Amino acid sequence: MSDSCCSTAGNQQKFTKTACPQCATEGKKVQRITLGALLKPDARKRMPPGEAFLFCSSINCPVVYFHEGKPLFGLDDLTVRVGQKVTEEPKPLCYCFGYTEKAIMEDVLKNQGKTNIPAEITTQVKSGNCFCEVTNPQGSCCLGNVNQAVKKGATLYQAKQKQTI
């Protein structure tokens, strides 16, 4: 992801076991504070020490966080829905400002295939109002996920345009 509003620089660690033990998707490093902020109390008590936490972004995989090659926490262990891993609405994508996949796609359909939502998020990020490390389960900027939803909406819009011709 090129657009990153939450710097994890200096927090990079070399890992040998970086693939999700359940689905083999390459994990994304998350900070301890992300798990601390988003886990339910019982799950929080089961956190091992250290910083070796990885996030699985695969939609078909129930593992949210894994640790040293083993599944650690699943969807039910978090206080929020993991939008990029669930198939039913609500699918939150931008946690700081509350945009779901549906809301983004609807905005695209309403505005002839375009939306200002990514620009609005970017403006907020620049204002220092973005707190992805404690709001978003992936622990990093949502813009990649938001832009995917924009593309999905644009594709749907184009398909609908063709139908009406």
Contacts with Zn ion, residue ranges (CB under 5 A): 20, 22-23, 25, 56, 58, 61, 63
- Our CB check for Zn ion shows the closer of 65 and 157 to be 65
- Our CB check for Zn ion shows the closer of 20 and 104 to be 20
Q: Long-range contacts of range 10-18, CB-CB < 8 Å, 24 or more positions apart? A: 11/51, 13/51, 13/52, 15/52, 15/54, 17/68, 17/69, 18/54
Instruction: Give least dist CB 71 to Zn ion, A.
Output: 8
Taken in order 99, 100, 105, 110, the sign of the CA dihedral is: negative
- Our CB check for Zn ion shows the closer of 23 and 86 to be 23
Is the peptide bond between 90 and the residue preceding it cis, with omega within 30 degrees of 0?
yes
Taken in order 42, 66, 149, 155, the sign of the CA dihedral is: negative
Which residues does residue 94 pair with via DSSP β-bridges, in sequence order? 99
Instruction: Give least dist CB 64 to Zn ion, A.
Output: 8
Instruction: Give least dist CB 74 to Zn ion, A.
Output: 10
The 10 Å Cβ neighbour count of residue 38 is 24
Instruction: Give least dist CB 76 to Zn ion, A.
Output: 15
- Our CB check for Zn ion shows the closer of 5 and 72 to be 72
